[in-house]
Amino acid sequence: MRLQRPLVMGVLNITPDSFSDGGKFLSADAAVQHAENLIAEGADILDVGGESTRPGSSPVSASDEISRVIPVIESIAARFDIPISIDTTKGEVAEAALNAGAHIINDISGLRFDERIAAIAAEYGAGLVLMHSRGNFETMHSQTPVHDIIREVKESFSRMLKTSAACRVASEQIILDVGIGFSKTQSQNLELLAKLDKLKAEFPDHPFLVGASRKSFLGKILGGGGPDERLFGSLAAAAIAVWNGADIIRVHDVKETVRSLKVIEAIKDQL
């Protein structure tokens, strides 16, 4: 599947502890208002999540996750005509979200935590984002680094695609995510962005999603500062990712990213 232009996925965290905006949109009214703002700024997709995956976060039950996200998804689906993604690793949450109006499942575990997600995606014909990560919920940010991250991601993608095919997920439903910031060193995050085009060449049938927005590896490059001080680094990472073939960029700062990508696409059109 090929997209005509890079799409911007706006992040909507309905959590008390996400690394960048935890607690800001816990109420359904605040979350829906933020969704409206993201749409006005140019978001093509909204990614709704009810469980933080930042380092040190605690897992939540499926019932708690459902209670956070379903009212928001239902309200967004009723008010706006925009694709909605559910950011979850639990089949129960994914199915509830699809029934509430979501269109895409964004699984950061790449089917490792709950293979039922693939079967649910197949049943509903939903988009399925499969991200590379390693370890379980508690250890995914503290894994011993692999020697060759490009090879590791390639092999992981191949396993995910094999599992998806066995569950009858159509190839055109699947989006791949290299998992920036998950189980990677500083240099490996940078290497994946720099060599994204080589990975895409290995999996030409699938769009690639990149989510580098406000992540800590950018803060290290910029000399410190919190997530809110990483806008310029986030835009630079998005620009490089799109130049190297990313099809979807997952971001917190939608307006700034949309404007930056317009310039990048105008330049790429001259190649």
For the annotated catalytic residues, the residue numbers are 215, 250
CA dist., res. 218 & res. 98, Å (int): 33
Residue of 150, 161, 147 lying closest to 206 (CA atoms): 161
Q: Could you say which DSSP state residue 127 is in?
A: E
H or E stretch covering 231? helix 231-243
- What is the rounded CA–CA span in Å between residue 15 and residue 9? 18
Q: Is 187 helix (H, G, I), strand (E, B) or coil?
A: helix
Q: What is the DSSP letter of 59?
A: -
151 by Cβ neighbours in 10 Å (0-12 / 13-18 / 19+) ranks as exposed
Task: Name the token pair of 70.
Answer: 């379903």
Residue with tokens 């994914």: 94
Long-range interactions of 165-168: CB distance < 8 A, separation 24+: 166/118, 167/115, 167/118, 167/119, 167/121, 167/122, 168/119, 168/122
Query: Which pairs count as long-range contacts for 31-38, CB under 8 Å and 24+ apart, including other chains?
Result: 31/72, 32/72, 32/75, 32/76, 32/79, 35/10, 35/72, 35/76, 35/80, 36/79, 36/80, 38/10, 38/12, 38/254
